[in-house]
Each structure stands twice: as C-alpha cells, then as structure tokens.
Amino acid sequence: MKLKIYSAAGKDNSNLDVSSDIFSVKDNPNLLAQVLRIYESNHRRSTAHTKNRGDVSGGGRKPFRQKGTGNARAGSIRSPLWRGGGVTFGPRKSQNYHLRISRKMSNLSLKIALSQKIAEKKLIVVPKIEMPKISTAQIQKFIEKLPIEEGTILILIDKINVNVMLSCENIPYLKVIQPSGLNTKDLLQFDYLLTDVKGIEAIEKLFKVKNANIN
C-alpha cells in the first residue's frame, strides 16, 4: 500500500510504502463505539456525593425514650427515615467507572481509525515536520499550504521537538503528540492526522512492539 507524500508547497511528489495490515483495515463501527465509550468512562470522575447517617452532623442523642411515647422507636434524628437525615444508597465519590480493554481490541481499533483517515484522505504525510525557531505564524503558513480544509489537526512527531510543540501551543485546533501517545479517541475526535515519514515509520514500529507483547 502507498501513501502520498506532500511537499511543503502542498504537492504530492512521491509515495511511501506502508503496511496494509495497519493502514488498510476493514471498518468496524461497533468496535470503535465500544472503545470510545471505554476511553470516556475511564476519564470520568465521580462528583455526585451524598451523606449517609454517619456523615450528617448531630443526632448523637436519642431523640426520645424507647417506650411510652406512642411513637416508633428512634435512636437518632439523622436516620434516613427522618427529614434532614442521611441518604440511603445515594451516590458516593468513591464510585469507580473504570473499564478494561484488551490489547487486541485497542490495537485493532487504532488500526481501523488510521485506515479511516486514509480512506477519507485526512492522513497527510510530509517529508519532515520541523521548525527552525518557535513561531506560531510559520506553523500556520506551513499548514495552510497543505491539502487541509478547516478542522482540528492532530500532529504526530516521532520524537520531542520543542520548537514544533511550542509553535503549536497557542493554536486551539492543533494538538502535538508522539507515537506512544497515539490513541483511538484522538484519531476519532480530530479531523486530520498530520505526520512525516519518520512518524509513519514510528507507527509501524509501535505496532510491531504491540504485536510482540500480545504474542
């Protein structure tokens, strides 16, 4: 399988041979939906919190004697049966929403998301992503020359490049990641994936390591 390589002027001058096992995988919407739900669930924080009878202040004294009043016996005014008392089985901050995902599911969903980007012509490969100095204006001009329409862009670089990262920092529709941070959620949420030849090679190397760990 071949990918187009775009020059700095935005012209496709050459091609890059890539693995079909990674960049040409059959679509599976159900798997992508399941993986995305797991990602979102694992980032969910439990904020709803109610007080049980032990958390509510007061109520240490028995409100009235056990017998002879005609009322039902009561040991505390903070019982869940009383107004102003604790809550029974209410939400607590200790609730855990974490879900597990197998390595095979994670790897397959990532391959499908990459294949979708290629099918939609939204995986843009350039010879090299580099910046001689930190400049927001220059990175914007560089992107404007590429076949990218309006939308959010995920930029993948093979190793840390301070100039590129800081140049993109103040642009809200850009996000810079390394191959180790590539995930299905970002690929689905961002409109474009922009990388260079070394970035593609790093992705292929990453999957070789992942497959070796599974086997």
**Mean of the pLDDT values across residues 18-22?**
92
- Distance between CA atoms of 56 and 115, rounded to whole angstroms? 55
Asked if residue 44 lies in contact with residue 95, where contact means CB atoms within 8 angstroms, the answer is no
* pLDDT value of residue 5: 93
pTM above 0.75, yes or no: yes
The reply to whether 177 and 209 lie within a common domain is yes
**Which structural domain, as residue segments, surrounds residue 53?**
47-96
The reply to whether 52 and 86 lie within a common domain is yes
pLDDT band at 214; cut points 50, 70, 90: low
The reply to whether 74 and 134 lie within a common domain is no
The pLDDT of residue 210 is above 80:
no
The reply to whether 196 and 101 lie within a common domain is yes
Asked if residue 168 lies in contact with residue 152, where contact means CB atoms within 8 angstroms, the answer is no
**Mean of the pLDDT values across residues 180-189?**
94
Q: What is the CATH number of the domain that holds 27?
A: 3.40.1370.10
* pLDDT value of residue 6: 92
Which of 65, 96, 127 is the last residue before a domain boundary? Answer: 96
Model pLDDT for residues 134-177, shown as the tens digit of each residue: 999 999 999 999 999 989 999 999 988 999 999 999 999 999 99
Model pLDDT for residues 66-104, shown as the tens digit of each residue: 999 999 999 999 999 999 999 999 998 888 888 898 999
The reply to whether 39 and 68 lie within a common domain is no
The helices-and-strands tally (H runs, E runs) of the chain is 7, 6
Model pLDDT for residues 26-77, shown as the tens digit of each residue: 999 999 999 999 999 988 888 889 999 989 998 889 999 999 999 999 999 9
- Distance between CA atoms of 178 and 198, rounded to whole angstroms? 11
Q: Which residue shows structure tokens 């197998």?
A: 102
The reply to whether 121 and 180 lie within a common domain is yes
The reply to whether 55 and 18 lie within a common domain is no
The reply to whether 67 and 160 lie within a common domain is no
Which of 77, 96, 115 is the last residue before a domain boundary? Answer: 96
The reply to whether 139 and 175 lie within a common domain is yes
The reply to whether 109 and 187 lie within a common domain is yes
**Contacts by residues 179-184 (CB-CB < 8 Å, ≥ 24 positions apart):** 179/203, 179/205, 179/206, 180/206, 182/110, 182/156, 182/206, 183/39, 183/110, 184/32, 184/35, 184/36, 184/39, 184/106, 184/109, 184/110, 184/112, 184/113
User: On the CB side of 177, how many CA atoms lie within 13 Å of its CA?
Assistant: 18
Which of 96, 125, 160 is the last residue before a domain boundary? Answer: 96
The pLDDT of residue 199 is above 90:
yes
The reply to whether 102 and 169 lie within a common domain is yes
Say how many domains are in the chain. 2
